Amino acid sequence: GGARVLNRLKSSALLTELLMHDTVDPSHSRLAQMAAQPVLAHFKHVLLLSSPQDGFIPHHSSRIAHDEHVAADAKLRSVLATMINQLNDSLERVHTVRLEIVWPDARDQPMTLSHAIGHASHLQFLENTLFYRLFLQTMGRRYLV
């Protein structure tokens, strides 16, 4: 995905941790340790937004969902499955909404590195305040009350 490409171009501790490359054994990675903590259970409502167009954060990851094609390495696949189960267990008593967003076709946009690695679609979530306002006005009461 896009995070791997970006990490190769500009190595950073954050991306190394997100890719679970901070330890030799992924089950000891910082991300695996965090997933083992039931912090999501402290919330009343959790909204998981995902987009199949987001090449930076995998679609299944944003949804906290299993994907059998996620890793060729059996050990890493096992660790990821454990993490997903732990996160979903902590959401057991939490009102959780998973929404999939499909942004308008961006084929008319100039191809940049950000578009190529899927970062542009990822930024749509972070920078689109109009989307959040409209969502909260139209759907917020239905999903978050």
Burial 108-117 (b: 16+ CB within 10 A, else e): eeeeeebbeb
Q: What angle do CA 129, 134, 138 make, to 5 degrees?
A: 155
Tokens of 52: 């199949």
- CA 121 – CA 71 distance, rounded (Å): 23
pLDDT tens for the chain, 145 residues long, are: 544 544 454 567 877 888 888 999 999 999 999 999 999 999 998 989 888 877 777 888 889 999 878 777 889 899 999 999 999 999 999 999 898 887 676 555 555 555 554 555 556 666 777 777 777 777 777 766 6
Q: Helix axis angle, 119-127 relative to 2-9, nearest 10°?
A: 100
